Structure 1
Amino acid sequence: MKKRTIALVAILAMLAFIVTGCGGSGGGDQEKPAAEKKFFNIATGGTAGVYYPLGGAIAEILNKNVEGANAKVQSTGASVANVNMLAKGEVQIAFIQNDIAYYAANGTEMFKDNKVENMRAVATIYPEIVQLVTLEKSGIKSVADLKGKRVAVGAAGSSVTANAQHVLEAAGLSFEDIDEQYLSFAEAANGLKDGNIDAAFVTAGVPTAAIQDIIAQHKVVVIPVTSEMADKMIEKYPFYTKVVIPADAYKQAQDVETVGVKAMLVVTDQMDEQTAYEITKAIFDNVEDLKTAHAVGQYISKESAKDGLSIPLHPGAEKFFNE
């Protein structure tokens, strides 16, 4: 009986030693629990476009500055495809033009009968500029002069077509007043060079390669969207902003007034406020990294991040901008 008691005491002592050893010397020495992983798939565009390199830079920023972030980019068909992927929960962050976001949120244009109401903006980032170009020999000097002319209005179903309609509307015209041609940027450039069209709408960053290609052979004129026209457009379509194309971009005599839409970063209302706040803060605290990633990074700033918003701002992003 005595031997059993001694053995039991020894076992209990050993167990106490093991428990004490596992517990460490004190609460201050315990390892901090790992942060919960936050996975962010970022929908961008084609690998040769602007969205993809910017998306890569943003993924790197989030991975470095948001605790637990695991962000990666995904090449996609750009804005329209990104709306659908975001709505289905296939991605958590998406690059979307603000006019496309507006159409989706309101169930118009290419989203007729397919309304998407759960999108929330993180910020607008840089302008995609509406450019109306012609050759000097055409004699076209204003939007009103397009009446009866052959005009490229973007590829069928593209956002450029809607941009063209809105510009014409501001000048009191419609597609019924022109001979509209549904052409891609490259096709429009060739059409102008060959004399098959008289003018072309192009919505893209400045300078645009397709327009530069024309300049190599012809004197190009960029037709202004006047401030008065821009005001009409903005009143009816709030996603537009006033933009100036520098004279040296296309060898013009002076700067040219026009309008632009904006590329946006978009999430959904399923993202919690704190996460959206951390994402927004990380991006705008590291804007220099975006400038390094692509030339359009020069346009990205906290001061302009709410210009041209076409859908509601996420509460988390709003918290950051109100600080």
Structure 2
Amino acid sequence: MNRFFVGSLLLLLNLIVWTPAMAADANAQPVGMVTGSKTGTYIQFGNNIAEIAKTVGLDILVKDSRGSIDNIRRMNSKENAALGIVQSDVLGFLSRSESSEMRQLAGRLRLIFPFYNEEVHLFANKSIQSFGDLQGKRVVVGEEGSGNWLTAINLLQLTGVKPGELLQIAPLPGVTAVLKGEADAMFYVAGKPVSLFTK
């Protein structure tokens, strides 16, 4: 792995949020919980929560999703999605958004409890030694609508770094793109250990 490095940039907090719809739906059908990709940590957390909830008589239907923004939208829709796992920076960003619609979406959600700290990892070829080196490069930011995508876009905007191309693809194809030289770097939000980089 001498051609590549992985750098951790900052810590984020994951949280699970709730809408008042949960109370009405709990007796009628399983409570829907939107999580994350089918192969990610969030869906595993959702499955673990569902197993524990069964022991007290609560049936939770765990659903995969495209990430935090998708989860917020789905919890605010007519879908059975009363619970969701959301990155705290995404919820905070929407709460401060210039869009009144985004602020309303965030305002209808309630924090149940935080899960754990996550880190923003930068997986890159060896020529990328600092954040500024992303200027003009091909950078994987994650799928549009994911928390990974929003965190990456926010960091780039806050630092004024302008990559030459933003590649909006999922994590595994993103790693492959960096390894094949089709991308110069990739953002990935996850808690340690990050098995994606060791496969």
Aligned-partner Cα distance in 1 for 2:189–2:96: 21
**Matching residue of 2:160:** 173
From 106, 130, 150, give the equivalent of 1:162. 150
Q: Is the contact made by 2:75 and 2:83 (CA closer than 8 Å) also made in structure 1?
A: yes
Q: Is the contact made by 2:139 and 2:166 (CA closer than 8 Å) also made in structure 1?
A: yes
Aligned-partner Cα distance in 2 for 1:91–1:196: 37
Q: Is the contact made by 1:83 and 1:104 (CA closer than 8 Å) also made in structure 2?
A: no
CA, structure 1 residues 76+150, in 2 after alignment: closer, same or farther (shift >3 Å)?
Answer: closer
**Matching residue of 1:128:** 118
Q: Match of 1:173, as an amino acid?
A: G
**Matching residue of 1:44:** 34
CA, structure 1 residues 58+166, in 2 after alignment: closer, same or farther (shift >3 Å)?
Answer: same
**Matching residue of 1:201:** 187
Q: Could you tell me how far 1:86 is from its partner in structure 2?
A: 2.5
Q: Could you tell me how far 1:119 is from its partner in structure 2?
A: 0.6
Q: Is the contact made by 2:120 and 2:189 (CA closer than 8 Å) also made in structure 1?
A: yes
Aligned-partner Cα distance in 2 for 1:79–1:119: 13
**Matching residue of 2:15:** none
What RMSD, in angstroms, separates the aligned Cα atoms of the two structures?
A: 3.0
CA deviation profile, 1:253-280 (whole Å, cap 9, x unmatched): xxxxxxxxxxxxxxxxxxxxxxxxxxxx
Task: Provide the secondary structure at the position in 2 that maps to 1:70.
Answer: coil
When normalised by structure 1's length, the TM-score is 0.44
Task: Provide the secondary structure at the position in 1 that maps to 2:118.
Answer: strand
Larger radius of gyration: 1
Q: Could you tell me how far 1:209 is from its partner in structure 2?
A: 4.0
From 61, 76, 99, give the equivalent of 1:87. 76
Q: Give the unaligned 5+ runs of structure 1.
A: 1-36, 214-323
Aligned-partner Cα distance in 2 for 1:52–1:197: 27
Query: Percent identity over the alignment?
Result: 23
Q: Is the contact made by 2:70 and 2:146 (CA closer than 8 Å) also made in structure 1?
A: no
CA deviation profile, 1:230-287 (whole Å, cap 9, x unmatched): xxxxxxxxxxxxxxxxxxxxxxxxxxxxxxxxxxxxxxxxxxxxxxxxxxxxxxxxxx
Residues 269-284 of structure 1: pairs in structure 2 closer than 5 A: none
Residues 223-238 of structure 1: pairs in structure 2 closer than 5 A: none
CA, structure 1 residues 57+179, in 2 after alignment: closer, same or farther (shift >3 Å)?
Answer: same
Q: Give the unaligned 5+ runs of structure 2.
A: 1-24
**Matching residue of 1:283:** none
Q: Is the contact made by 1:41 and 1:92 (CA closer than 8 Å) also made in structure 2?
A: yes
In terms of fraction of residues, the more strand-rich structure is 2
Q: Match of 2:166, as an amino acid?
A: Q
CA, structure 1 residues 102+212, in 2 after alignment: closer, same or farther (shift >3 Å)?
Answer: same
**Matching residue of 2:17:** none
Q: Could you tell me how far 1:132 is from its partner in structure 2?
A: 0.8
From 37, 51, 76, give the equivalent of 2:64. 76
Q: Could you tell me how far 1:49 is from its partner in structure 2?
A: 2.9
From 174, 185, 189, give the equivalent of 1:188. 174
CA deviation profile, 1:194-222 (whole Å, cap 9, x unmatched): 22222221223334344224xxxxxxxxx
**Matching residue of 1:147:** 135
CA, structure 1 residues 96+70, in 2 after alignment: closer, same or farther (shift >3 Å)?
Answer: same
CA, structure 1 residues 38+154, in 2 after alignment: closer, same or farther (shift >3 Å)?
Answer: closer
